[in-house]
């Protein structure tokens, strides 16, 4: 199933918006931001979101891991660029959260570079088994 996330769905809960600058080192041989850097921008936005939660999101028995990612590359990012990375909760499960994302030009919200979603699963690192979402994560995904 391909999920296009051009515009946030009405049921999606906004989690976080991050401002990120494309760096010179993000460029590839074609002189635009390499596709792998998009994942780095999304990771940075997720970490910013997690760090501002009102409660623990990480413990000795519950750590988030990425289970899946889908990125729809809409247009190349040229350097220098100021980016706006938007994160939305698309779905909450018992141990997982589907986070929709959009990477936009910070000064022009009509310039969409990338959209898609990732699935994060919380697991116990000692057992490798999934565990319930931490309350702070569930609360953020429910109320924004």
From CA 2, how far away is CA 82, in angstroms rounded? 28
pLDDT of amino acid 6? 55
Give residue for tokens 């750590």. Answer: 63
Q: What is the mean pLDDT of residues 112-125?
A: 97
User: Is pLDDT above 80 for 120?
Assistant: yes
pLDDT in tens, 3-54: 444 555 557 999 999 999 999 999 988 888 999 999 999 999 999 999 999 9
Q: Could you give the residue ranges of the DSSP H alpha helices within the chain?
A: 35-51, 135-143
Backbone φ/ψ region at 55: left (φ over 0), alpha (ψ -120 to 50), beta = left
User: In whole angstroms, how far apart are CA 100 and each of 31, 115, 119?
Assistant: 28, 8, 9
pLDDT of amino acid 4? 45
pTM of the model: 0.89
pLDDT in tens, 50-76: 999 999 999 999 999 999 999 999 999
Beta bridge partners of 59: 62
CATH of domain 21-143: 3.10.129.10
pLDDT of amino acid 54? 92
Split at pLDDT 50, 70, 90, the class of 1 is: very low
User: Is pLDDT above 50 for 133?
Assistant: yes
**What sign does the CA torsion over 86, 69, 91, 127 have?**
negative
pLDDT of amino acid 30? 87
């Amino acid at each position: 199933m391909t999920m296009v996330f051009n515009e946030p769905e009405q049921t999606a809960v906004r989690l976080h918006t991050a401002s990120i600058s494309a760096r010179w080192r993000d460029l590839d041989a074609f002189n635009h931001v390499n596709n792998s850097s998009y994942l780095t921008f999304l990771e940075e936005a997720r970490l910013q979101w997690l760090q501002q939660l009102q409660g623990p999101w990480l413990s000795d028995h519950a750590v988030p891991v990425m289970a899946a990612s889908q990125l729809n590359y809409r247009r190349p990012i040229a350097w220098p660029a100021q980016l706006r990375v938007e994160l939305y909760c698309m779905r909450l499960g018992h141990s997982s959260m589907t986070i929709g994302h959009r990477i936009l030009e910070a000064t022009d919200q009509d310039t969409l570079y990338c959209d898609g979603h990732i699935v994060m699963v919380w697991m116990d690192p000692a057992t490798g088994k999934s565990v319930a979402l931490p309350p702070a994560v569930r609360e953020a995904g429910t109320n924004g």
